Amino acid sequence: MYRYNIYVEPIIALATPPFKSALALIRISGDNVFDIVSSLFSKNIGTGFKRKIMHGSISFENNVIDDVVIFCYEASCSMTGEEVVEISCHGSMVIVKEIMEAFFSKGVRQAEGGEFSARAFYFGKMDLIEAESVNDLINATTKEAKDVALMSYLGKVSPLLKPLKEKISDLLSKLEVNIDFPEYEDIEQTNYEYVISQCKQMKESLATLIKQGHEGKIIREGVKVAIVGEPNVGKSSILNALLNEEKAIVTDIPGTTRDVVEGYLSIKGVPFILLDTAGIRDSLDVVESIGIKRSKKSIEEADMVILVSDDKTIFDESEIDCLCKDKILIKVTNKSDLIKQKEKGHIYVSALNKDIEPLKKAMYESLQINDSSFSTPSFSNQRELSLLKKIDNELSLVIKDCFDMVPMDLISSSLLNAYNYVRELFGEDPTHDLTDEIFSRFCVGK
């Protein structure tokens, strides 16, 4: 059963932030919303229009609550696929509360987070990829992240996968015909070589989509960066220099940083979440030991590790390899003004002298992001990327089974799995739990 009772109850929510402002916008959606609003509005909304703007007042029990402007959308033109009215009132939360309570008395209920977007999806106004992008737009922290989300919202991403869906469907239907009607000679025969050729073509297309998706995900979500190293090598100074502010306390005393300090930085439109960690060493100090434990956890969760040293540091390479496995590793030597002989493969900076640009350059370049990724539509969230990889895995299995000359009905099964994953991407015939979980991440009013 759906979490949202979408076929019965009209819903209402504040669509603007719940703070005092010049104006506030209240959104209402559902069946017979025009009649419900007309019962509280000074004018009858009527019917026979697609969109309408009206000025009047909202009253309840013969008392005027506020002078408002309402925007009315007939179901075919609304965002949800139902009748929608948006009320623009003065931005006092007292006024907002009174208006909403008046509608509660008429049987309209408070919307849950993401419920308006959920209705838009259920009533076919957008597919699941477009619906998810609404939340990505709201949470964008850079212009570039906003642009990536906007391409999905405007429907530029979904068409990228439609040719693949058609190819899988076509190949699947040919296989099924050959399996069900092997005795008919006039049917086009589908052999192993043909299936392998088709799957390889599809995998090439998928490889491009997955690569673009990874780059889009970086632009949209950012990169978690753990700044690590021994105590007193200048990790906090590097954090402060990168952020150009005194975010972390800096002293000459080893072990000053006892917890993870977080900061945010954008380099060429890519968000970096910087984590300055406690210096890693053996410590008898209880508080410092807890900080070191948290540091190691931050390293585990990071996408990139900046390993900081100075002229006196001796690295344990085996520990570095263990901590930084499957992560981008940038080795940085701080206090470059004191170092005479410089090693190849290291980045040299002087946090004290604000000489930090070589590190910023290395951080960005290590991501190997193509400049075109900022303007290329992509499947850039974890759910979408995960499904693309599942499709790719099923196609790989089909190719392997063809080489092993597995019976065609078993090969058809893997191809059907791939097709169903494509449908899941678009939200076609989705499980209720999946869509409810996705929309529950949205804010109220969306």
- Is residue 446 domain-resident? no
pLDDT in tens, 339-350: 666 677 678 887
The verdict on 234 and 203 lying in the same domain is no
Where residue 331 falls among pLDDT bands split at 50, 70, 90?
confident
Where residue 282 falls among pLDDT bands split at 50, 70, 90?
very low
- Is residue 373 domain-resident? no
- Tokens representing 322 are 């263990």
Average pLDDT over residues 346-371: 86
- Per-residue pLDDT for 261 more than 50? yes
Of 69 and 114, the structure prediction assigns the larger pLDDT to 69
| Count of domains observed in the chain | 3
The verdict on 267 and 348 lying in the same domain is yes
pLDDT, the chain, mean: 82
> How far apart are alpha carbons 57 and 354 in whole angstroms?
59
Q: Within 13 Å of residue 53, how many CA atoms lie on the same side as its CB?
A: 2
Pair type for strands 261-267 and 223-229: unpaired
The answer to whether 423 and 429 are in contact (CB under 8 A) is: yes
Residues of the chain with pLDDT > 70, as a percent, come to 78
Average pLDDT over residues 44-65: 93
Q: Is 375 helix (H, G, I), strand (E, B) or coil?
A: helix
- Tokens representing 301 are 């969760």
Write the single-letter amino acid at 333: T
- Is residue 4 domain-resident? no
Among 70-84, 89-103, 114-128, 276-290, the least confident range? 276-290
Where residue 252 falls among pLDDT bands split at 50, 70, 90?
very low
pLDDT at site 189: 65
Of the ranges 143-157, 193-207, 233-247, 312-326, which is most confident? 193-207
Give the long-range contacts of residues 160-163, CB within 8 A, separation 24 or more: 160/209, 160/377, 160/379, 161/209, 161/379, 161/422, 161/425, 161/426, 163/205
Domain limits at 66? 11-122
Among 182-186, 240-244, 315-319, 359-363, the least confident range? 182-186
Average pLDDT over residues 383-396: 95
DSSP at 316: -
Q: 188 - beta bridge partners?
A: none
The verdict on 77 and 215 lying in the same domain is no
pLDDT at site 248: 44
The verdict on 362 and 228 lying in the same domain is yes
Residues of the chain with pLDDT > 90, as a percent, come to 40
Closest Cα to residue 173, out of 191, 186, 190, 194?
190
pLDDT at site 318: 62
Q: Is 154 helix (H, G, I), strand (E, B) or coil?
A: coil
Of 249 and 330, the structure prediction assigns the larger pLDDT to 330
pLDDT at site 364: 94
- Is residue 134 domain-resident? no
- Per-residue pLDDT for 287 more than 50? no
- Is residue 229 domain-resident? yes
- Is residue 2 domain-resident? no
- Per-residue pLDDT for 373 more than 70? yes
pLDDT in tens, 409-445: 888 899 999 999 998 888 886 455 445 554 555 555 5
Q: To the nearest 10°, the Cα dihedral for 172, 173, 175, 178?
A: 170
The verdict on 228 and 361 lying in the same domain is yes
The verdict on 231 and 213 lying in the same domain is no
Structural element, H or E, at residue 347: strand 347-348
Average pLDDT over residues 280-300: 56
Q: What is the CATH number of the domain that holds 207?
A: 1.20.120.430
The verdict on 188 and 257 lying in the same domain is no
The verdict on 236 and 348 lying in the same domain is yes
pTM of the predicted model over 0.85: no
> How far apart are alpha carbons 422 and 107 in whole angstroms?
39
Average pLDDT over residues 110-132: 87
Domain termination site, one of 322, 346, 368: 368
Give the long-range contacts of residues 61-66, CB within 8 A, separation 24 or more: 65/95, 65/98, 65/99, 65/102, 66/90, 66/95, 66/98, 66/99
pLDDT at site 260: 54
- Is residue 5 domain-resident? no
Average pLDDT over residues 161-184: 80
The verdict on 165 and 105 lying in the same domain is no
The verdict on 310 and 231 lying in the same domain is yes
> How far apart are alpha carbons 259 and 297 in whole angstroms?
11
- Residues with Cβ within 8 Å of residue 70, at least 6 apart in sequence: 37, 41, 45, 53, 54, 55, 56, 85, 86, 87, 88
Where residue 224 falls among pLDDT bands split at 50, 70, 90?
very high
pLDDT at site 288: 44
Of 354 and 332, the structure prediction assigns the larger pLDDT to 332
Where residue 321 falls among pLDDT bands split at 50, 70, 90?
low
Average pLDDT over residues 393-418: 92
Q: Within 13 Å of residue 271, how many CA atoms lie on the same side as its CB?
A: 20
Q: What is the CATH number of the domain that holds 307?
A: 3.40.50.300
- Per-residue pLDDT for 384 more than 50? yes
